[in-house]
Structure 1
C-alpha cells in the first residue's frame, strides 16, 4: 500500500524541526520498505508571500488527497494586520478538515528533569468548538464588538462534538490505565460545561464501564496537576481548557518542546507539536525537534491502526525508541540542558535507528 504524507514547513523554527523530522521519517520508511510520497505545501509566511493567504487553496486541495501531514509551527501574531484578523493556520486546518480530536501526551522522559517526578498523561482536547471564536462558528466569528468598549464572546457546546471526543478519550483509556478525568467549569457555566460533563459521563458509563471516571473544575485541576500529575491517566476536556492544561503538563514533565500532538478526524491525521514557532531562536540550529518527532510517531501509530498496517507500527516503534534512546544517552538540545544542535540531534537519532533496527 502507498501513502501520501504532506509537509508544511511553517514559520520560525518550523522549517528546521520539520526537515529534521522529515529526515527521521524517510529513514524509517526506507527501513521497512513503506511506499510514501512526501509532497510539500505552503503555509504561513510562504503562503502569504506566494499566494496571498497563510493557508492557501493549493494547500487545502493538496491535503485532501493526503493520508496525513506534518504541520509545523506558525507565527501568526507577526503576520500583517489583514491576516491577523483571519483564523490562524491551526484553527483553519482544524475547522476546514474537521479535525475534532486533539490528543496531547505529556510524560517523563529519560535524561530530562521532570518537575513532578514520574508521569504519563494524555490530554484529549475537543478541537472544533467551545469558546475559541476563530473555529466555533459555521460562518462568521464567535467574538464581536458592538461598540469600542464592549466585547461579546459566544461559546458553542454540542452533544455531537462532546460525544465524539469522549469516545476518543475513553478508547485511549482502555489501552492504558483505564482512568479518565473530565475537566470542566460546570459549577459556574452550568448549561455549557454542564452539558459537556454530563455527556462525557454518559459515553463512559454506557460504552466503557471498565473505565474509572472522575471530574474536576479547571482551577482545581491545574493545582492537582502541579501536585500530583502522576496520578492521572487520560484527561478529557474542552478546547480552551485542553490548550492550557496540555501546555502545563508538557512543561511540568520537562519542556514544552517535548510535547507531541495529533489532530484527527475519521480519515486523516495532522501531526503538530504543542509548542510555538519560537522566532527568537529561528535559524540558529538549536531548536528541539523532539515534540514534532514524537508527533510523527503518534501519526504513524494512528495510520497503522487506520490502515491495519504493521509496517507503519514498526516504523513508529523504531522512531520512538531511537529518540528516547538518544535522550537517555544525554544527547540533548539546549532547552533540555544539553549542547546539541538541531542537526546533530537529528543525526544521532538516525544513527540510533540503524543500530536498533
Structure 2
C-alpha cells in the first residue's frame, strides 16, 4: 500500500508536546511494517493569530483535502478573540468543512481495577458532531447564537432527521461489533420536538439491527446511572451537548482525560483529536500525558484501515493500543497525572519500546 500523508496542526498549550509524542509513536509503529508517513505542518491557534491575524486560515482546509487525515493538537479557543477579529475554533471549522458528524469517544479501564469503580467501564460515546447547540458549526451561514438586546442571549439548537439518522447508523454499527447494546440519550420530556425527532430516528434505525438491544435514557438520570454502574453501558448514542458532557464523565471514570482518545469522522474523512483541552498551566513543562492523542492517532489508522480495507493499518492501530495498555498499567511508567513520575518524552520513549511486545 502507499505511504500515508497527514496534515499536522499542533495548536496551543500542550498541543505541540503531545503532537510530537504522537508523531514519534506513529513513525516508530509504521517503521515496524516498512511504512512511513509524509507530514505537512501548518500553524493554527495563537501562533497563526500572531502571524496571519486569524487562528485558522481557510487554505489549510484545501491542504487537508490532499491528505489522508489530520492530527489535531489542542486549542485554547475559549481564549481566542471574537470571530470577527480572527478567533476561529479550528476544530469547529474542520468538522463543519469535512462534515465530520461522528465524534467517537471510547472509555475503558487502562490503569487496572479502580477502587472507586471496581465494576469497570468499557463503552463508546457516539456523539453527533455537527448540529445541536454548538453555535460554531450548526448553521449554514452565521452562528447559532444572537443577542437581541444587551440583556438577552439566545442559543439555537438544531436537530435534523439527516443528522440524527446517520449518527444512529454509526452507533448501531459499532454496537453490532461490540456487546450489542445501545442506549439513546435524550431530554424529550422537555425538548419534545428536537429530542423527539432524534429518538424517532434512533428507533427507526434500531429496526435494522434486531440483534442490538436498544434502550432510551433521559440525560439527567443517565448522569447518575453511569456513576452508579458504568459497566452496563456499551454504546451511548447522544446529541452534541449531551455526548460532550457524558463522554468526559466516562473518561474520568476510566482514569482521566489524559487517557481519553477520540476521532471526528465522516463518510470520507477523519481526524485524530484528544478529548481534553490545551492545559496552558502545564504547557512547556514536559509533564503532559500524550496518551489521548497517541490513542486518537491509532483510532485514525483503524478508521483508514476499515475504510480502505487495509489490514496492515488495523494491525498497526492495534499494536499502538496494546503498547499504551502495557505502558500505563505499570505504575513505574506513568506520567504525573495518573500517579507516575515520567516526563512526556520519557513516557513516549517507554511506549515506543513496548511496541510489538
TM-score class, shorter-chain normalisation, is over 0.9
Q: Cα gap change, 1:247/1:337 in structure 2, threshold over 3 Å: closer, same or farther? A: same
Give, in angstroms, the shift of residue 53 of structure 1.
Answer: 1.7
* Residue 184 (structure 1) aligned with residue 183 (structure 2): no
Number of residue-to-residue matches in the alignment: 354
| Residue segments in structure 1 that go unaligned for 5+ positions in a row | none
Q: Give the 3-state SS of the residue equivalent to 1:39 in structure 2.
A: strand
Contact 1:333/1:339, CA 8 A, preserved across alignment:
yes
**What residue number does 2:255 align with?**
254
**What residue number does 2:346 align with?**
344
Q: Cα gap change, 1:259/1:112 in structure 2, threshold over 3 Å: closer, same or farther? A: farther
Q: Cα gap change, 1:175/1:84 in structure 2, threshold over 3 Å: closer, same or farther? A: farther
The superposition leaves residues 155-214 of structure 1 with CA deviations (integer Å, 9 ceiling, x where unpaired) of: 111110111101111000011000000000000110100000111111011x21110000
Q: Give the 3-state SS of the residue equivalent to 1:63 in structure 2.
A: helix
1:136 pairs, out of 135, 138, 150, with 138
| Residue segments in structure 2 that go unaligned for 5+ positions in a row | none
In structure 2, distance between residues paired with 1:314 and 1:181: 30
1:333 pairs, out of 314, 317, 335, with 335
**What residue number does 1:27 align with?**
28
Contact 1:114/1:252, CA 8 A, preserved across alignment:
no
Q: Give the 3-state SS of the residue equivalent to 1:104 in structure 2.
A: strand
Give, in angstroms, the shift of residue 46 of structure 1.
Answer: 2.0
Q: Return the TM-score normalized by structure 2.
A: 0.96
Q: Give the 3-state SS of the residue equivalent to 1:199 in structure 2.
A: helix
**What residue number does 1:68 align with?**
69
- Give RMSD over aligned pairs: 1.5
Q: Return the TM-score normalized by structure 1.
A: 0.96
Give, in angstroms, the shift of residue 80 of structure 1.
Answer: 3.3
Q: Cα gap change, 1:15/1:176 in structure 2, threshold over 3 Å: closer, same or farther? A: same
Q: Cα gap change, 1:191/1:86 in structure 2, threshold over 3 Å: closer, same or farther? A: farther
Give, in angstroms, the shift of residue 41 of structure 1.
Answer: 1.7
Q: Cα gap change, 1:267/1:223 in structure 2, threshold over 3 Å: closer, same or farther? A: same
In structure 2, distance between residues paired with 1:270 and 1:55: 16
Contact 1:125/1:165, CA 8 A, preserved across alignment:
yes
1:1-357 counterparts in 2 under 5 A? 1-81=2-82, 86-111=87-112, 113=114, 115-117=116-118, 118-205=120-207, 207-330=208-331, 331-353=333-355, 356=357
In structure 2, distance between residues paired with 1:94 and 1:81: 19
Give, in angstroms, the shift of residue 52 of structure 1.
Answer: 2.1
Q: Give the 3-state SS of the residue equivalent to 2:5 in structure 1.
A: strand
Q: Give the 3-state SS of the residue equivalent to 2:275 in structure 1.
A: coil
